Structure 1
Amino acid sequence: MLPDYDDIKAHTYRLDSINLSKAEAKEVRITLSRHSSSIAKPNVFSQSSIITFKKHSRDDGFEGEVSQKLLPFFGRTNSDIKRVVAEVVNQNELIAVQDTDIQDCTIIAKVNGSKKTIYMLDSGSFATKFPLNVTLDADGHPDFQETQKEMLRVLGTEIIAKSENV
């Protein structure tokens, strides 16, 4: 039997087991999306833009810069990562960005001899909880079909409708 509803807590665990101390960065991809200063105006960029920094020569110091400035923030909060990524972009004087403009940061690197993609912002680690109006059996478990129908109803009425302003 399940405990009382108030005793149930949700947790997210992230295992950052990859050792990045010897990572050799080859490319950094930063996705930007600048929002308009007024809600009545459209966005400056109709969609998102991508800035890519690449290693160009053997002695350009690219790996060291990425290792010192970006990789130490792996596993930290998204706001910390966005702040440091914005600082790196602004240092290159290509475009002025704020941390709120940063949507994603991906580093392509050689780690222990193999090519790895390092996702600095883990946008897939968030979940939203919605209560479902379903009956539970004697063991405290919901019926699969009833739960599936209720999840689809909540998806249409609570999630999609609100995110799309329907």
Structure 2
Amino acid sequence: MAAKKNEEVSASFHYLTRTKKDGEREMLIPFTAEEFNGLFDKMASQKPIDLSDEKEVDRLRFRAEVPLVNVKRADARTITGTFKASYWGHAYDNTVKGRIPAISVNLRPFHFLIYLSESGRIYIGSQYLGLFGGYESLKKTLVDMLPNRKQVRSRSFRLGAAYYRNAEPREIRVNVANKSTSLAGRSSVRGKMTIALSRASKSDPLVEKVKTSILPFFGGKQSQIQRAVADLMNESDIIEIDDEDIVDCTVLAEMNGKTRTIHMFETGHHASKFSLDVPVDEEGHPANDQTCKAIVAVLRDQVISIAEDE
């Protein structure tokens, strides 16, 4: 039997707010329990997509709406469920089904949790499987079900450096623009190259250097990260790099007994993904109840506790 491929289960976190113009000012309008109840009713009664109707299938193709299934009320402030994100546009050969045409729509299931906070924000935890997910489509579907949807804004929750304070770096990988200054000016080939520095042991000085001089800049300005990385790389007798030569940087580190990849440049552009310690089934997907329990734990312990005082 072939080995099963398990991709990392994670979740991104976001919250919806609503504003209203009051002259030159924008006023925050909290979501009410009544509106949250109305959102649940619309989610639970969503009209199924008619897969025989090409116009409706187009709504899936272009992610105008995602199908919601297994929508449940965990309590007065919490809704859980599963949404199906669409993927299409590339033909490929499948060992079971044969040729899959580019026009066909593939639907992948992902679990979600929605929480109404005391402050009137609507928090959303959206599951990912490896690189696959679909928060933007889920958000659009939910916002379209809310009153005064044009006044609704989405904010993404991003991690700060404090989250990685206990990380133990194993390796730092740096993508460098291969200019004349790189590699002591000896390279005549342009383009981009990757330089990896790995620890020789847990006591290797590289571990402490990455931990104290690189990770604290996580979540900061890219220029600050570039300078910190360039300073570290330039301690080598071989490499000579200017700040602007640094194209990207990732750190491989151990956290709570697991290996994590920290993308130093991503945090300013994407919602952070929190790893969820849940198993996957024979089809490679996690169960809804286990996933939502894990999302609740992260929301309570690492998101709400920072975002607002509850």
Give me the TM-score of the superposition, normalised by structure 2: 0.33
The SS at the match of 2:234 is: helix
Q: Give the equivalent residue in structure 1 for 2:235.
A: 91
- Residues 103-122 of structure 1, C-alpha deviations (whole Å, 9 max, x = no match): 00000000121110000012
Partner of 1:129: none
User: Is 1:20–2:164 an aligned residue pair?
Assistant: yes
Take 2:189 and 2:256, find their aligned partners in 1: how far apart are those partners?
A: 38
Which residue is equivalent to 1:47?
191
What does residue 57 of structure 1 align with?
201
Q: Per residue, is there more strand in 1 or in 2?
A: 2
> For 1:103-147, what per-residue CA distance to the aligned partner results, in whole angstroms no more than 9, with x for missing partners?
000000001211100000128828xxxxxxxxxxxxxxxxxxxxx
Deviation track 1:29-70 (CA, whole Å, cap 9, x = no partner) reads 000014579xxxxx9533211111101123223221111110
Q: Which secondary structure does the structure 1 equivalent of 2:204 belong to?
A: coil
Q: What SS is found at the alignment partner of 1:121?
A: coil
In structure 1, the partner of 2:213 is 69
Whole-Å separation in 1 of the counterparts to 2:155 and 2:226? 21
Aligned to 1:114: 258
Deviations 1:65-110 (Å, cap 9, x if unpaired)?
1111101100000000001111111111221110111000000000
* RMSD between superposed Cα atoms in Å: 3.2
Aligned to 2:247: 103
2:175 to 14, 20, 31: 31
8 Å contact kept, 2:219–2:267: no
Q: Which runs of 5+ in 2 are unaligned?
A: 1-19, 27-150, 182-186, 271-310
- Counting matched residue pairs gives 117
What is the percent sequence identity of the aligned residues? 29
For residues 211 and 267 of structure 2, the distance between their equivalents in structure 1, rounded to whole angstroms, comes to 22
CA contact (8 A) 1:12 1:125 kept: no
Could you say if the C-alpha distance between residues 11 and 31 of structure 1 is closer, same or farther in structure 2, counting changes exceeding 3 Å?
Answer: farther
* Closer, same or farther: CA 124–75 of 1 in aligned 2, 3 Å: closer
1:88 match: secondary structure: helix
State how far apart, in whole Å, the 2-side matches of 1:23 and 1:15 are: 17
How far apart are 1:16 and its partner, in Å? Answer: 0.5
Indicate how the Cα distance of structure 1 residues 123 and 33 shifts in structure 2: closer, same or farther if over 3 A, else same: farther
Higher helix fraction: Structure 1 or Structure 2?
1
Could you list the runs of 5+ residues in structure 1 that have no partner in the other structure? 38-42, 127-166
